[in-house]
Structure formats: C-alpha cells, structure tokens
Amino acid sequence: MSLKKTKTEFDKILVSGITADAVIDLCGCVSSLDSSLVVLPGFCDVHVHFREPGFSYKETILSGSRSAARGGYTSVCTMPNLKPVPDSKENLKLQLDIIKRDAVIDVFPYAAITKGQFGIDLADLEELTDAVAFSDDGRGVQDEQMMREAMLKAKSLGKMIVAHCEVNELLKGGYIHDGEYAKANGHDGICSESEYKMIERDIRLAKETGCPYHVCHISAKESVELIRQAKKEGVDITCETAPHYLVLSDKDLKEDGRFKMNPPLRDESDRLALIEGIKDGTIDMIATDHAPHSAEEKSKGLKLSAFGIVGLETAFPVIYTHLVKTGIITLERAVQLLCDNPRKRFDLPQKNSFSVWDLNQSFKVDPDEFLTKGRATPFTDDILFGKNLVTVFNGKTVYKT
C-alpha cells in the first residue's frame, strides 16, 4: 500500500508498467539526504466544488484540478452547485466538455437529483447516467416522497444517491444556499438534529428501496451512531467526514469567515465520535468538501460570510500530522480513507497514479501559496508535516514541487 525509501533511492522513480515518460527526477526536491519518503496511490475525493460553469471567479476546473494534484489527488467528484445546474443532459455536457478540455486529473461530475436543486421536481435521471452519482448537495431533499422516488429511480439505473442531510425546519435564524450569505445566526443555527434527523429518514428509505446511499460530511455523534447501526442491519450505506471535523471543534472557532462551513464545527464530543467512526469503519472515507469563494465573500465574519472552506492542498498533511503521527490511525488506514474506500464505493479507476511525499518535512500553511483560487482555511499558519514532491496521473507528471 505504501513504499518507503531513502532520498538516494528516490532520485529517480520508475513505476512498472508506466512508460519512460513517468521517470521522475527528484534531485533537489527533498530537504535532506536522509529524508524518509513514501509513495502513495493517487487520492480520491468524492466531494469537491469546482464552481464551473457559472462561478468561475471562485474556482475553475483547471485551477481546482491543479489544486487537487498538488494535494496528491488524482480523482475528484464535483458537486452540482453550478449555473446551469447539471439537471439535464445538455447542462451536464457543458461541464463534461470543460473537464475534457481543462482538467489535469480525473474529474467526475455529479448530476442533480431535482431540477434546479429546488427539491420540487425530479430531474430526468435517465438522461444523466454519465454522472458519477446523483446529489442535491448544499440542500437536503426535504420531501420524503421525492427522495423515495429518487432512490427507486437511481437503483433502477445502477446509480447511487449522495445526500447533504439537513432538515430546513430545524434550522434557526434562517439559511441561504451555498454561494450566498447566511442570515443572522445562520452558522450556529445549524443544529446537529437538522443533520441526523434527515439521515434517520434516509436510512429508512434506503432500507425500503434497496438503493445505494452515501451521506456527505457527517459532523454529529448521533449521525455516526445511526450509520453504525444501519450497517449492522445490512443497509447499503456509506458516509464521509472531512479533515476539519476530525481535528477541530467549536472551541477552535474564531470570528473569521475561514471558520465558516456547513455543517459547522461542533462539540468536542462530536469530534471524538467521528474519530471512533474512522477507527472502527463506520466512516468509510475522508472527503474535503473543498468549497472556494472569493476573498470578499469570506471577509464578513461567521455571521455573514459564505459557507465553505478550501481543503485539497492541506488534507493529507492535516490527517498525517494530527491523526497518523499521533498514533490515532496508521498510515495504511489513512490511505484507505483517502483512496481505497472512495474508489471502491464509487467505482473509480486508479490509472497508474501516485504521489511522493516527504513525511519529515514540515511547513507553515500559507494560503497565498495555494493553487486553488480560494484562500479560506481554518489551518492558516498551522505547522503541518508532509510535503508532496510530485503527483503522477496516468503516467504523466501533473504536479512537481
């Protein structure tokens, strides 16, 4: 699963089965002759926002995929919060054409569950089978019958439903969709119950319909327990959480838009429950929910800034520093969460892709050095371990330090 070597042995790397163009010269890339290097398979993130078409000032397929490559990712799945929403064959093709033209790694788009992501009319899912799965991410499907119909149709098409779980009626102080501003108390008004109550409903529907079901960015201890029990009952369910929920809690909040995301950072007891979830297999994978915004949109504090932070370029260093180096999980388990499990669940190819990391090299997180257009991260100025030296995708170098 991983291969450690010294710097001397890694001056040149040739991966069996890849053409000579994949020979990587690492001279000068490492901090010292005795650095411990590790080769890891290309990571896979099933939850990112690349914002194109419609919001290119926040991110593009090109900038997002370059950012992913820097973070060691060679496959990502892009959410449908776009303009136009990929709720028809024509709209999905707009995105697919940009991906074909600009992406430096594999980019697999989601299609919307409902037309315009409004939760009123089911999208013509039969036209959207080129998508990796169906999701209305950013909005929970509020109507139970609508979700039931979506699950039945998705199952008949051999597709998965991927859900942002949030009950609008349980939110306090108002809420506006991703890309716009929250009303008063929009951040701290997103209670845990709004998440786990919808998960509870959808588990029942998944059991009823037999549809494969995946839960986005779980953040609450109740969510972990519901999914743990559902798996014991044989429900076809998987879930993800994000690095920031595993490392931070509400005690780390600052009055700064870079700490505003949805779901929000929760109690320390929730964080510890998530840790147990990744250790015992209840949580299947780690996804970043990479959600870039402009500097202006993130400059209005916790109350009025847009929801979302960036995460592709810091995900592995955060996980390695806070979970692997501390002995909470092994490096092999981290690779399962970041690569093996998401690829298996979403049936995504590896394509002779890997990254080379210097695990001994530390760095200070400086958003001005990011390749993404977004700069908002709660890890600004943190000291992290693990520097990516090179990422190879399908036999081609797509990032080199």
Catalytic residue numbers read 289
Closest residue by Cα to residue 315 from 72, 106, 66, 107? 72
User: Which residues, at least 6 apart from 327, have a Cβ–Cβ distance to it below 8 Å?
Assistant: none
* Separation CA 260–CA 258 (nearest Å): 6
What is the signed CA dihedral for 258, 262, 267, 271, rounded to 10 degrees? -90
* Separation CA 265–CA 259 (nearest Å): 8
* Separation CA 295–CA 371 (nearest Å): 15
Q: Please, what's the largest Cα pairwise distance for the chain? A: 62
SS3 for 83? coil
∠ CA 243-6-341, rounded to 5°: 30
Identify any residues that bridge with 44 across adjacent strands, giving them in sequence order.
Answer: 75
- Asked if 308 and 292 touch (Cβ cutoff 8 Å), the reply is yes
- Asked if 324 and 248 touch (Cβ cutoff 8 Å), the reply is no
Identify any residues that bridge with 354 across adjacent strands, giving them in sequence order.
Answer: 41, 392
Going edge to edge, which strands form the sheet with 106-109? 43-48, 73-78, 106-109
Helix boundaries (H) for 27-159: 61-70, 89-102, 144-156
